[in-house]
Structure 1
Amino acid sequence: MAIQERLAGLLAQAAPATVAVVHSDTAWTWGQLSTLSQKLNGILNAVALGAGARVGVVLENRPQFAAVATSLLSTDRCLTTLSPLQPPERLCADIDASALPVVVASATTLALPGVRDAIVRHGRIIVLGWDGTCAMEPVEPILATDRPTAPGVAIEMLTSGTTGKPKRVQLTYGQLATSIGSARMPGKVDGNGKIVLGTGATIVSTPMVHIGGLWGVITSIYAGRRTVLLDRFTVPEWVDAVDTHKPRAAGLVPAAMQMLIDADVPPHRLASLQVVTSGTAPCPPALADTMLERYGIRVLMTYGATEFSGAVAGWTKADHVQWWPAKQGAAGRAFPGVSLRVVTDQGAELPVGSSGILEIRTAQAANGGREWVRTSDLARIDHDGFLWIEGRADDAIIRGGFKVHPAVVKAALERHPAVREAAVVGVPHERLGSVPIAAVIPRADVDRPTSDVLITACRETLTPYEVPTRITILDEFPRTAAMKVDRVRLLEVLGAPPQPVAG
């Protein structure tokens, strides 16, 4: 069954009084999801935005936005995600660059500086209310019917990418279908062809504007399970959700697992969990061992990227039982339908066990699996097919599962009038994996800035996870013969160890 058909069937057939999505003290039924979906579909059809139309959504972790995402994907439209987590200036720039004919947003988002103006420069606004209301504002310009469309594209998602400037990745309906098939998501129907709701619950604590959060919501709704949305991960809220809804599986980044352990959560409150899947950042084997010893929970690492609409390799529970003692630290094995290989810089395939650049071939890629896709990761694959990620070919810093690009932080620092030049590097962090720190050379013609002043300035223009944990004022940077900043020597100057290499 196609994903569009399955989602449309759920909205039309699912028991209307059954709870579908939970957020805080609010519970939305399948009937409420269906009603909001019908409202949105009617509004879009009225302005000739049918199949293939690009619809921007400033996604928040609320039931209303889960309904909007389901509605768009059930009607062959293209969901273009916009992040409310970024500062208003960057959100406005993203809206302008996307040039969308319509954007769905909450009143809270629309009240941010410049957002409303950025939207109406290109299209119209649909205001989404917390009570389930959905209405298009009567704002010019009148929509043209020749707006660019994206036939076959399910999601346009802004990703950090692998080399600096963020980019939009298009995920097709075919890619989503392949990913759902690889994940063996249940899509049950009874003997009469009527859709059957799944059992259990999925807890989503990752923002829906990230592939992990959106994938969690879509697959949970696809399976007909109850979806529990958290605004963000906190130990008390997440543990309460597990204790209340009793899921057998959940997803957590390593930083969140460490927070659970540090909080000394009683094992009985997590008793329903058998496995935790972990992606976005390498999970230290010692952390996985502690989760197993303390809670009896097996940590199943996964490896993937936005470009592949999710994970392409990972551990299964059966593999973990058989192989974990011998393969600790591996990212798992290729999922069905996925091929992995390691190559040189020139693209020559390397023998089993050799280290090189990871390439992937899968129908989850935009090219449908016709060609190998090169990643930015250094890896090796052993004789049993286990994948080991050994580092990154780019300079992205993975902070608690989020990518921080040094160039973005550097540019923010250099916009400060007292900064002549900035450099940003990643350093190991026990809980978050890596964090950014920075050094700056001040301008000679102004008062010397303090670290606190610069960190405050960063908070005004960067997302919280991009803000450096430490800023050091230097008179000069160590440099290479080509006059580039020598990052290895800079780490020595700053008294910080380099980022670790897994393996």
Structure 2
Amino acid sequence: MAESFTETFAAGLAGYGSNPCIEFDRRWYSGDEIAAYGTAIADALRAAGVDDDAPVGLVVRNRLPHAAAIIGFLAAGRTVSMIYSFQSPEAIARDIETLRLSAVVADAEDWSPPVVDAAARTGSAGLAISLQPPIVAPVPGLAHRDAAQTHAAAEPGVALQILTSGTTGPPKRQSIKTPVLQRTVFSVTSGEAAPADAPPELAYWQFGGIGVCQLIAGIYNGRRVAMLERFSVDDYVDMIRRHRIKRSGVQPAVIRMLLDADVAKEDLASLDFLISASGPLDPETHDEFESKYGIPIVLAYGATEFAGSLCAWTPDLQREFGTAKRHSVGRALPDVELRIVDPDTGTQLAAGAQGLLEAKVAPIGPDWIRTTDIASIDTDGFVTLHGRADGAINRGGFKIMPETVRRVLISHPAVRDACVVGVPDARLGQVPFAAIEVSAGVPAPSADELADLVRRSLPVYNVPVAFTVVEELPRNPALKVSLPAVAALYDAG
């Protein structure tokens, strides 16, 4: 009988033993150390009266204790529900109250008064994790789960609840079942098992969302993992140079940042190629990078809902079609079927026609899942993306829904109406900009006040880079706000 994902993952962790497993902050931690951290968390949860199969929340950061917690939960078969740490304390508290989990694990610094109060109201046990002793400790007042309160039950087969980037609204948790995680590993590694002396898997994408796949794939395959808490050009280049990384998945913004920093060609010389994902890479940046560094960029496409990539390039495809179809995201992976449909009728369109992309992913189920991406598929089966159908703003890989931000802004008593649009940004691709119509007879709120309002309600990447106050929002003859005219206000400023 074939091993389950959980069994294979646990075996992958056990296989490190005293050998290096994860590098964080320039120190290697052995497999034994990572496993011991996970055991300490499990013991603390048990002492807090939390059942071994109860889902647990993790206010996640890209730090060693959080990576060890995720690894420990997966190896034990316990569901972990991600909570973004870069929200305001009030937003974290709202998530905790909504989830109603038996326990919440968070960095010591994230146990702010609003977060502690929310866990107390829901009767959740609280654990503080740290690299400094004590590495795992109960939060004062939250040492035990309140058994008198009802908490979320285990969902059979669910390994992770990861957060989408908010394409269709505020980020939502997507339940990922253990069989689906096997295709996640495949989509990250293209099915290749790296040799023992291979460079480490480089993990810097946020673990709260699909970025956790970099960590999971590394451990599943028994490969060393080099972690960054957050991306910076200097730290990223240092990792590439020190570990002689051969391939790396990056957001388009990273490619632009490397160019802007004028990174020395020899510092990236180990790279065989980069994989650009999470958003469109403009052809000019694509060409400029390849011309400057001689490193091919291959495009990939996936989403949280699919637990990884839908399309990819293999070395054979790259050799045969790499030049002719270099702006394609590749062909469908073996367990994926793709089609293009008319957004209004749902009718499948002919090769080359643009429409909405739909996917059927075997491990997920037999149904076609509609995306909000406009795409086309040519006669050779290569997919090209042409933008989004939903008007989402893609800020360096984070998706922002303008209407979500607008609703926050108009909650201010002085704001009569508002419009939020994406405007071009050389580094991030797009950033949000807001035009504000103020109610008559009241002073206009300051930009800082409006930014703080958004920051308290939504993840920080939703905060507009600028605000302008207008007497009336520009409208077209149908009395709808003209989005191009609003964007032009940014240009005029």
Is the TM value for this pair above 0.5? yes
How far did residue 107 of structure 1 move? 0.8
Q: Deviations over 1:433-473 (max 9, x none)?
A: 11111100012121234445534554555434222122111
Partner of 1:388: 384
Answer yes or no: is the 8 Å Cα contact 1:248–1:273 preserved in 2. Answer: yes
The one-letter amino acid of 2:8's match is R
Partner of 2:226: 228
Partner of 2:262: 264
Bigger mean CA deviation after superposition, 287-296 or 475-484: 475-484
CA distance in 2, matches of 1:118, 1:198: 46
Instruction: Compute the TM-score of the two structures, normalised by the length of structure 1.
Output: 0.89
CA distance in 2, matches of 1:197, 1:56: 34
Change (3 A) 1:467 1:391: same
How far did residue 263 of structure 1 move? 1.1
Bigger mean CA deviation after superposition, 384-393 or 2-11: 2-11
CA distance in 1, matches of 2:100, 2:231: 32
Change (3 A) 1:322 1:202: same
Partner of 1:500: none
How far did residue 266 of structure 1 move? 0.9
How far did residue 474 of structure 1 move? 0.9
Structure 2 counterpart SS, 1:96: helix
CA distance in 1, matches of 2:285, 2:294: 13
Change (3 A) 1:135 1:7: farther
Could you tell me which runs of 5 or more consecutive residues in structure 2 were left unpaired when the two chains were aligned: none
Q: Percent identity?
A: 36
Superposition pairs for residues 427-442 of structure 1, below 5 Å?
A: 427-442=423-438
Partner of 1:165: 170
The one-letter amino acid of 2:375's match is A
Change (3 A) 1:185 1:130: farther
Answer yes or no: is the 8 Å Cα contact 1:55–1:78 preserved in 2. Answer: yes
Tell whether 2:114 aligns with 1:118.
Answer: no
How far did residue 13 of structure 1 move? 3.5
CA distance in 2, matches of 1:131, 1:10: 26
Superposition pairs for residues 282-431 of structure 1, below 5 Å?
A: 282-344=280-342, 345-365=344-364, 368=365, 370-431=366-427
Change (3 A) 1:422 1:37: same
Answer yes or no: is the 8 Å Cα contact 2:335–2:362 preserved in 1. Answer: yes
CA distance in 1, matches of 2:446, 2:42: 53
The one-letter amino acid of 2:217's match is T
How far did residue 186 of structure 1 move? 5.0
Structure 2 counterpart SS, 1:61: coil
How far did residue 42 of structure 1 move? 3.0
Partner of 2:27: 26
CA distance in 2, matches of 1:281, 1:94: 27
Change (3 A) 1:413 1:292: same
Partner of 2:444: 448
Partner of 2:204: 205
Structure 2 counterpart SS, 1:490: helix
Alignment partner for residue 16 of structure 2, among 14, 17, 36? Answer: 14
How far did residue 405 of structure 1 move? 1.4
Alignment partner for residue 475 of structure 2, among 464, 476, 479? Answer: 479
Answer yes or no: is the 8 Å Cα contact 1:186–1:223 preserved in 2. Answer: no
How far did residue 340 of structure 1 move? 0.5
| RMSD (Å) for aligned C-alpha atoms | 2.3
Tell whether 2:184 aligns with 1:179.
Answer: yes
Q: Deviations over 1:358-413 (max 9, x none)?
A: 10001253xx2x01100111111001111111121212100111111112321332
Change (3 A) 1:292 1:355: same
CA distance in 2, matches of 1:13, 1:226: 11
CA distance in 2, matches of 1:144, 1:88: 23
Tell whether 2:52 aligns with 1:50.
Answer: yes
Bigger mean CA deviation after superposition, 396-405 or 118-127: 118-127
Tell whether 2:156 aligns with 1:151.
Answer: yes
Partner of 2:71: 70
CA distance in 1, matches of 2:393, 2:337: 27
How far did residue 67 of structure 1 move? 1.1
Partner of 1:142: 147
CA distance in 2, matches of 1:68, 1:452: 37
Change (3 A) 1:147 1:161: closer
How far did residue 351 of structure 1 move? 0.9
The one-letter amino acid of 1:376's match is T
The one-letter amino acid of 2:270's match is S
Change (3 A) 1:71 1:143: farther
Alignment length (residue pairs) = 482
CA distance in 1, matches of 2:370, 2:296: 30
Structure 1 counterpart SS, 2:324: helix
The one-letter amino acid of 2:282's match is P
CA distance in 2, matches of 1:219, 1:143: 39
CA distance in 2, matches of 1:89, 1:249: 39
Q: Deviations over 1:177-228 (max 9, x none)?
A: 122234444568xxxxxxx95632122222111212x111111121222212
CA distance in 2, matches of 1:489, 1:24: 47
Change (3 A) 1:38 1:450: closer
Q: Deviations over 1:72-112 (max 9, x none)?
A: 111221110011011112111111111111111111111x2
Answer yes or no: is the 8 Å Cα contact 1:302–1:311 preserved in 2. Answer: yes
How far did residue 139 of structure 1 move? 4.0
Bigger mean CA deviation after superposition, 413-422 or 239-248: 413-422
